[in-house]
Amino acid sequence: MERRQDRREQMDELAAAIRECRRCPLWKDARHAVPGEGNIDAQLLFVGEAPGQREDLTGRPFVGRAGALLEELLAGIGLSRGDVFIANIVKHRPPGNRDPRESEVAACTPYLERQIRLIGPAIIATLGRHSSRYILSKVPVDFERITDIRGRIYAAEVFGRAVRIIPTVHPAAALYNPRYRAMLEEDFRTIEEEIRRLPDTAATPHSQG
Ligand code: URA
């Protein structure tokens, strides 16, 4: 793998390119792009859907109420935001938080692909239907409902790297529905077990490069 410093620089350049991106029309209504953030050495990558209102205002992923729940779930397995990398399949907010369109996902996902290649995570946890559909299309796995496949572990090669994909429900869906919250808690325990099984048990090999 390339040196940490080189990857850091490439990640910064990528974030700058995302901020300038005009590949689809979403930038027109957005205040800020949300490239993603976290530890570029993370073993665990979270992939959400698209920025919401607070993310659009701040340029940071998962900083609203769904983000607070994500942080709580992370703390429950002994991790914090700085241990993981958090990204989305779509980097600009769709107006009114509508679902991203297929054309927008297609235009934007080369950025996520580049992020996955730079980070080289061992585990990708997909949050919600849209990101699960995109990442699992690489396996390939098709599904109707996220609840049919959540919490399973899919071993696959994604962008040249052997990864374990763990789809789960979106934290926003769990804000008002205790059943979804219980699913998330269960799936985070699965994530925790998978981290323990990694050859190097540290979720954050900070010492690289
Ligand atoms: N929901 C997402 O899918 N991503 C964010 O960054 C925030 C909310």
- Please write the tens of the pLDDT for every residue from 83-117: 999 999 999 999 999 999 999 999 999 999 999 99
Q: Is the pLDDT of residue 206 over 60?
A: no
Using the atom order of ligand 1, give the atom closest to the CA of residue 131.
3
* Average pLDDT, integer, range 75-90: 98
- Position 158 confidence tier, pLDDT thresholds 50, 70, 90: very high
Q: What is the pLDDT of residue 111?
A: 98
* Average pLDDT, integer, range 66-73: 98
* CB-ligand 1 contact for 94 (6 Å cutoff): no
% of the chain beyond a pLDDT of 90 = 91
* CB-ligand 1 contact for 88 (6 Å cutoff): yes
- The alpha carbon of 52 and the centre of ligand 1 are apart by a number of angstroms equal to 6
Q: Is the pLDDT of residue 3 over 60?
A: yes
* CB-ligand 1 contact for 85 (6 Å cutoff): no
Amino acid at 140: P
CATH class of 4-198: alpha beta
Q: Is the pLDDT of residue 203 over 70?
A: no
Which residue is closest in CA terms to ligand 1's atom 7? Answer: 62
* Average pLDDT, integer, range 17-24: 98
Q: Is the pLDDT of residue 21 over 50?
A: yes
pTM given for the model:
0.94
CB 120 within 8 A of CB 161: yes
Q: What is the pLDDT of residue 160?
A: 87
* CB-ligand 1 contact for 48 (6 Å cutoff): yes
* CB-ligand 1 contact for 86 (6 Å cutoff): no
Residue-range domain boundaries for the chain: 4-198
